[in-house]
């Protein structure tokens, strides 16, 4: 495969990090972005140490100005971005009775509008064969999530974005797909304040037919497939990767 320019948001940790390492191993040039600068630079160093090619750019996806400037620079240097992985997100536990406009907008701003902010300026320079992959969640595609109404709403919105954008750009040869992960072993899942906490495996595994949590690398492999030529006739789809949770249990 020819070297592609791959932009990944939220690539410092978790699924974003795993995706960056996966594309780096494929020989692509990976644009690692995150608000976590130390973690993002560490991912670049890991890719380069393995013989790959990468660079880090700090990016808060809440900033239209910064997203526009980053993408404009990449378009000028590379003639367009080949793959976008819109992954940056937060999931903060807030009971609906305590929800404020500010807390609601924070999640929407990052998890949904943040996707639009990196995709929108990239589209005019994207060429046929380019691919966009957005991260949703089973909590947006199948389930509600207790005390995470804002998160489920944003992740459901991501599915609407994927479907509509895929139709709008299909005749231009640009594919748009998504992944809806289940319970994946990430810092978010292991955070006791906002998700299941350190006992996540013991809590969730009995409900998962495969009897275990997923690993970030297993989501990265699906992202890699969706961005590849092997998925050339696949667009507007959201692939659920959950160890059989949604079809197998409740």
Q: Tell me the three state secondary structure of residue 238.
A: strand
**How far is it, in rounded angstroms, from Cα 222 to Cα 233?**
15
Residue in 143, 151, 169, 183 annotated catalytic: 151
CB contact at 8 A, 196 and 137: no
**How far is it, in rounded angstroms, from Cα 149 to Cα 100?**
12
151 is catalytic: yes
What are the DSSP calls for 60-118, one per residue? -TT-HHHHHHHHHHHHHHHSS-SEEEE---------GGG--HHHHHHHHHHHTHHHHHH
DSSP tag of 183: S
Crossing angle for the helix pair 64-78 and 113-122, nearest 10 degrees? 30
Q: State the catalytic residues.
A: 151
């Amino acid at each position: 495969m020819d070297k592609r320019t791959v932009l990944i948001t939220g690539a410092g940790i978790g699924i974003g990090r795993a995706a960056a390492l996966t594309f780096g191993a494929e020989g692509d040039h990976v644009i690692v972005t995150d608000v976590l600068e130390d973690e993002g630079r560490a991912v670049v160093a890991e890719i380069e140490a393995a013989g790959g090619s990468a660079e880090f750019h700090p990016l808060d996806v809440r900033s239209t100005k910064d997203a526009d400037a980053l993408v404009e620079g990449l378009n000028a240097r590379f003639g367009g971005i080949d793959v976008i992985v819109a992954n940056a997100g937060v999931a903060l536990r807030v009971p609906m009775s305590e929800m404020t406009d500010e807390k609601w907008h924070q999640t929407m701003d990052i998890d949904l509008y943040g996707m639009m902010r990196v995709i929108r300026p990239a589209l005019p320079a994207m060429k046929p064969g380019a691919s966009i992959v957005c991260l949703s969640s089973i909590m947006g595609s199948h389930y509600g999530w207790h005390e995470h109404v804002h998160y489920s709403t944003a992740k459901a919105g991501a599915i609407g974005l994927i479907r509509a954008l895929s139709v709008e750009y299909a005749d231009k040869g640009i594919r748009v797909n998504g992944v809806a992960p289940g319970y994946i072993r990430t810092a978010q899942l292991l955070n006791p304040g906002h998700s299941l906490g350190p006992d996540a495996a013991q809590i969730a595994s009995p409900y998962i037919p495969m009897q275990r949590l997923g690993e970030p690398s297993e989501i990265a492999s699906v992202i890699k497939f969706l961005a590849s030529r092997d998925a050339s006739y696949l667009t507007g789809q959201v692939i659920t990767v959950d160890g059989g949770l949604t079809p197998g249990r409740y």
